[in-house]
Amino acid sequence: MPETVSFLVDPLPNDASAEFLEASFREIEPGSGALAVNDFAPHRGDGVFETLAIIDGHVQEVEPHLGRLVNSARLCELPEPNLEQWRLIIARAAERVPATGEYALKLALSRGLDPGPKPTGWVNVTPGADFRAAREDGIRVITLDRGVARGAGERAPWLLLGAKTLSYAANMAAIREAKRRGADDAVYVSSDGFVLEGPTSSVLVRMGDVVVTPPPAAGILHGTTQRSIFGHLAERGVDAEYRDITVDELLGADAAWLVSSVRMAAPIAAVDGTPMPVDRHATAELNAYLLSPRD
Ligand code: PLP
C-alpha cells in the first residue's frame, strides 16, 4: 500500500446532487503537477485547509475539522464546502494508506483560478512525523510577540485570525525564529501580554486543579484537539475552562502543553529558557486518549 496518497478535487457546490460526488475527485500521482499557475493558492495563499490525523486507519475528529473548514470558508467568503463530498474523499483517502501507523491528511480548498470564483481542492496523505520525543520528553518554547492586542480577531476580522487559511508563511517564520534561538517551537503572545497559541498548535495550561486555554475570541484558531481534550477532561470530572492567561501565569503553571491534530500533546519543558515541570503521567494519559479512536 502507498505511504503517500494524493487526490485532486473539483469542489462541488453545497447543493450539488449526490450523483456527482464520485466523479468530483480523482487520485493523482503524489508530487504530480496538479496546481494551475493562475490559482489563487500559490499567488495569495487565498484559501483554507485542515490537517487531520489518521491513526491505525481511523480518521480522528472528522466532523470538528469539517465544521472548522466551513467556518474558515465563511470567514474568507469562499463558497460553502460540500461536506458530503469531503467526508467521502476523506474516507477514500484513508482507505488507501496502511491500516497501522500514524498519517497526516491535509485537505486544502483554494479560491481557485484567477479570477475565480470556482474553488480548487486537494487532499494529500503522508506518514506522520515522529513526535515520540516531543510527546514524552517535551519541547522548549519561546514566547513571540504577535504584534496585535488580545481580541484583535473581533476588532479586525479581516486579519482572519480565527480561520485556518493557506497563508502560513508567518507561522513558519515564527517556528524558524524559535529554532534560531535554540528552542523547538513558539508561543504567540498578544501585544498586551496574554498567551495566545502556537504557530501550529493550541496552548493548554494546568493551574492547580483546572486546565485552561485562551478563548477563541482572543484572536486564535479554535483547536479541534483542545476541544477534544476538554470533552475528555469533563468526562473525567476535571475542570477545564477558557480564560485569559498571562505569560507569568504560564511560567508559574503546574504543567503546560502544545496540542494539535498530528503532534497530539507535547508537554512544554521550558519557556524562554526557564524550565517548566513536565507531568509525564498526565501527558501519557492525554496522549493515550488522543491516539485512541475518537470522533
Ligand atoms: N492554532 C493554530 C494556528 C494551528 O495552526 C493549529 C493547528 O495546526 C492549532 C491551533 C491546533 O488545531 P488542531 O488541534 O485542530 O490541529
Tell me the C-alpha distance between 152 and 190, whole Å: 9
Q: Among positive and negative, which fits the CA dihedral 135, 210, 191, 147? A: positive
The pLDDT of residue 288 is above 90: yes
Tell me which of 221, 222, 224 to substitute to probe ligand 1's pocket, judged by most ligand atoms within 8 Å of the beta carbon. 221
Tell me the C-alpha distance between 127 and 294, whole Å: 19
The pLDDT of residue 274 is above 90: yes
Tell me which of 60, 201, 261 to substitute to probe ligand 1's pocket, judged by most ligand atoms within 8 Å of the beta carbon. 201
Question: What's the mean pLDDT in 117-133?
Answer: 94
| SS3 at position 131 | coil
Q: Ligand 1: distance of its center to the CA of 259 in Å? A: 8
The pLDDT of residue 117 is above 80: no
Q: What is the pLDDT of residues 188-236, one digit of tens each?
A: 999 999 999 999 999 999 999 999 999 999 999 999 999 999 999 999 9
Say how many C-beta atoms besides its own lie within 10 A of residue 197's C-beta.
27
Tell me the C-alpha distance between 295 and 47, whole Å: 25
* Helix 62-75 with 224-235: angle, nearest 10 deg: 140
Tell me which of 102, 261, 286 to substitute to probe ligand 1's pocket, judged by most ligand atoms within 8 Å of the beta carbon. 261
In short, whether 72's Cβ falls inside 6 Å of ligand 1 is no
| SS3 at position 236 | coil
The pLDDT of residue 118 is above 90: no
Q: Ligand 1: distance of its center to the CA of 197 in Å? A: 8
Question: Of 5-9, 41-45, 194-198, 236-240, which gets the smallest average pLDDT?
Answer: 41-45
Position in ligand 1 atom list of the atom nearest CA 168: 5
Q: What are phi and psi of 71, to 5 degrees?
A: -65, -45
Contact 77, 70 (CB under 8 A): no
Which residue's CA is the nearest one to ligand 1's atom 4? 200
Question: What's the mean pLDDT in 122-128?
Answer: 97
* pLDDT score at 62: 98
- Domains of the chain and CATH, by start: 5-127 (3.30.470.10), 132-291 (3.20.10.10)
Furthest-apart CA pair in the chain: how many Å?
58
Please state whether 222 falls in left (phi above 0), alpha (psi between -120 and 50) or beta.
beta
Which residue's CA is the nearest one to ligand 1's atom 5? 200
Position in ligand 1 atom list of the atom nearest CA 199: 3
Q: Ligand 1: distance of its center to the CA of 18 in Å? A: 31
Which residue's CA is the nearest one to ligand 1's atom 2? 200
Please name the residue that has the C-alpha cell 514566547: 143
Tell whether ipTM is more than 0.90. yes
The pLDDT of residue 152 is above 90: yes
In short, whether 202's Cβ falls inside 6 Å of ligand 1 is yes
Model pTM above 0.80? yes
Chain-centroid distance of CA 281 in Å reads 25
In short, whether 225's Cβ falls inside 6 Å of ligand 1 is yes
